[in-house]
Amino acid sequence: MATKFSEQKNKEETVPPVDLDLIAQGVRMILEGIGEDPERSGLQETPQRVAEMFAELTSGMREDPNEHVVPLPGDKHDEMVIVKDISIASMCEHHLAPFVGKCHIAYIPKGGRILGISKLARLAETFSRRLQLQERLTTDIANTLFEGLKPLGVMVVIEAEHTCMTLRGVRKADAKTVTSAVLGGFRTDPRTRAEAMSLIKGRD
């Protein structure tokens, strides 16, 4: 499936190292721009702290997500696998404001090929640690799993709260955005898709 994702997934091959000094300079300019004094006691270390935070929140740009899509040797399974309620935190590329939520990943193995369940969480983590749109984050995860593991089907659902909407603009504190990416058997078989959604929506 051709999407903008194909331009995104291998960014880590060309992205330069984080320039902490350059980020810190920019933060100082922001502080000055809002009328603050970067030299006052409470703000002296802020530019460096923010630079280090940005490095952490964008660390996925320098990681290869395909490293997490390696089948477990020897293990075989052909029934649906779901890992739900994976906590994610990402940064909206429009406002550089965080969005946080839960990611649910389902797939149907083919040929018995399965992943360790922690790999699904790591895949979500790698893609969320980038400047993102929730829609693209959802398809990033789904496409990489579908292309790398070659299962019969993949479904990814993300529910997230965007601070660019809860803290500014319309300021709707309880609003959540839900996105999904559905590939293979989950797209072509409504009953299989409904089963996965039922299991994802079920809460302990």
Condensed to tens digits (0 to 9), the pLDDT of residues 96-148 reads 999 999 999 999 999 999 999 999 999 999 999 999 999 999 999 999 999 99
What's the burial of 156, exposed, middle or buried (CB within 10 Å: 0-12/13-18/19+)? buried
Is position 48 annotated as part of the catalytic site? no
More confident residue, 16 or 152: 152
The architecture in CATH of the region 69-201 reads 2-Layer Sandwich (3.30)
- Is 182's pLDDT higher than 90? yes
Give the domain ranges of the chain. 19-57, 69-201
The letter for the amino acid at 26 is G
pTM: 0.88
Residue that has been written with the tokens 């920019």 in this structure: 26
Of the residues 95, 135, 147, 195, which is catalytic?
95
Orientation angle between helical segments 20-33 and 46-57, nearest 10 degrees? 120
Is position 134 annotated as part of the catalytic site? yes
β-sheet bridge partners, residue 113: none
Top-level class of domain 19-57: mainly alpha
